[in-house]
Amino acid sequence: MASHPSIACRRRILRAALFYGIGALCLWGAPHVQAKETAAESADEILSAVVRLSAAVPPEARTADTLGTTRHGNGVVIDGNGLVLTIGYLILEAMSVIVEGPDRKPILANVVAYDHETGFGLVRTVRSLDAKPLRFGNSADFGEGEPVLAVSSGGVTGARPVKVVSRREFTGYWEYLLESAIFTSPPHPDWSGAALVGRDGRLLGIGSLLVPDATTDEPPEPGNMFVPIDLLKPILGDLLADGRAQHEAKPWLGMISIENLGRIAVARVADDGPAHRAGVRPGDIVVRVAGKDVATLSELYRTVWDIGSAGAEVPLTVMREGSLYDITVKSADRYDYLRLDQSY
């Protein structure tokens, strides 16, 4: 038999539901007890849709050294047949995934898809979860100042009131760029795969990172970066059918790069990746791409991607020990480099 939240827990759930308007409730003029119960039930449904997720990754995986072989985070139930949306790095190259639903019983799940461009991942449990799926909201409608809930697994203790403090471009050192990421504050301590929920109880985004500069103020405030749910809508069919989005693969260099004071420094190159094979070294400063000066990660990525699709030759000019070197990197498809055969 499923356990029910205590009265104290229900009161906390109710306060959150009333503050955020979850379920679009209007208590004035409605039966008081019935309205309270409806609010609590609506909040319970949202909380139960966020599940715990654990993944085991083999030590020979390409991402084992950087992301680890045991990964824990959250996921969000998005259909009635055990489909769980999460942040992709949790399940990337995983050989097994376990999901814990509202009853806390572990359920085996299969990796369905990974999309590097957005960062989303999908798994499906081998049997249905006792949870009502969260419906998608419209993340484009939410700007700075909007009150929202950041929700991790674990029931009411995982729900934190936060605000959208910024909508802006995000660039990651792993050749990753989002045009309009969602930044929230204060930070949620269990952000990986967490749900960002609007006042209407709908899903707005999936938690990706803890960041020191969620705000653009001086000094900046820490918070979380969420991947907007709108990015999933046009590719969901492809992900379910093929495990990845069916668009032209962007050229991948296999460089971990850091932007600092108008310079792009190569911090690491992927073993046997395109940049490594071409002779790019950690410590190199990327000065130009195809003859065009680049000073930020976004300039680097967009210039590389404008050259063509995966497999295109990418001319780099790097500074090494005070001298300039021209290096041509034969780019690749990142999916061909990853060891995904144990996943899907």
CA distance 153 to 141: 26
41-88, pLDDT tens digit by residue?
A: 578 889 999 999 999 999 999 999 999 999 999 999 999 999 999 999
For the CA atoms of the chain, what is the radius of gyration? 22
CB 23 within 8 A of CB 38: yes
Give just the sign of the alpha carbon dihedral 293, 299, 302, 304: positive
CA distance 91 to 87: 8
CATH top class, domain 51-247: mainly beta
- Mean of all residue pLDDT scores within the chain: 89
User: Residue for token digits 């492809």?
Assistant: 238
CB 97 within 8 A of CB 111: yes
DSSP string for 58-76 = -TTSTTHHHH-SEEEEEEE
The confidence score (pLDDT) of residue 276 equals: 98
The confidence score (pLDDT) of residue 320 equals: 97
CA distance 338 to 254: 11
211 to 185, 208, 287, 300, 301: CA distances (angstroms): 10, 10, 27, 22, 21
* Torsional class of 145: left (φ above 0), alpha (ψ -120 to 50), beta (otherwise): left
Question: In this structure, what token pair is assigned to residue 292?
Answer: 């065009």
Which run of H or E residues covers position 8? Answer: helix 7-20
User: What 3-state DSSP class applies to 290?
Assistant: coil
Q: Which residues of the chain have pLDDT under 50?
A: 1-5, 7, 10-11, 13-14, 17-39
Query: Which of 302, 298, 305 shows the shortest CA–CA distance to 168?
Result: 298
What are residue 209's DSSP bridge partners? 225
CA distance 92 to 246: 18
Q: Which amino acid is at 334?
A: R
CATH of domain 255-337: 2.30.42.10
The confidence score (pLDDT) of residue 342 equals: 58
Q: Where are the domains of the chain?
A: 7-48, 51-247, 255-337
User: What 3-state DSSP class applies to 192?
Assistant: coil
Q: Which amino acid is at 271?
A: D
